Amino acid sequence: MPLITVDGFQDDAFAPLADDMPLPNGAVLVSLARFQKERDALIARNAPIGVRLKSDQPPELLGEDVERLSLVALEFPKFRDGRAFSWARQLRTRLGFKGQVRAVGDFLYDQIAHQHRVGFDAWEVAEGFTPDTLHRALNEIANVYQPSADGRKTIRQLRASA
């Protein structure tokens, strides 16, 4: 699937690895189980590491190793499963994660703006998705009700300051 960020389409520098594949040189994206099992070997490679979390795997499972990661990919198994929204916000606000937070799986166009507000900055998208589509999704909503990781003033805060 193509990878898009707010800057447009990007080549994915991270090689996604199944748990039984040998480690190549360069950046890799591994499951949480593989990261936990091969942590020391992955870190010793001195190459960028990404971990893919399933929707039932909170980022706290990464522990202090979150600082060593360049990418956390959060899975949406179904568009109705919103746990990854919470995980992204926790990564950004509680854990101080500065790397890429990527949305993967089954999410909707209508969810992209809120995904970005809670901390996502990259998306695996279907063929035919364009940078214009992303720009439109990110800018459709001018005012917001929910506080989030992006620090935008909510409608309530705007009303109170008026």
Who contacts 119 (Cβ-Cβ below 8 Å, separation ≥6)?
88, 89, 91, 92, 93, 97, 101, 149, 150
Q: Model pTM?
A: 0.90
More confident residue, 145 or 42: 42
Q: What is the pLDDT of residues 5-25, one digit of tens each?
A: 999 999 999 999 999 999 999
> Range of 141's domain?
3-161
CATH number, residue 51:
3.20.20.70
Confidence tier at 158 by pLDDT (50, 70, 90): confident
Beta pairing partners, 74: 53, 103
104 closest CA partner among 125, 134, 130: 125
pLDDT at 146: 82
Q: Which residue type is seen at 77? A: P
When divided into structural domains, the chain yields a total of: 1
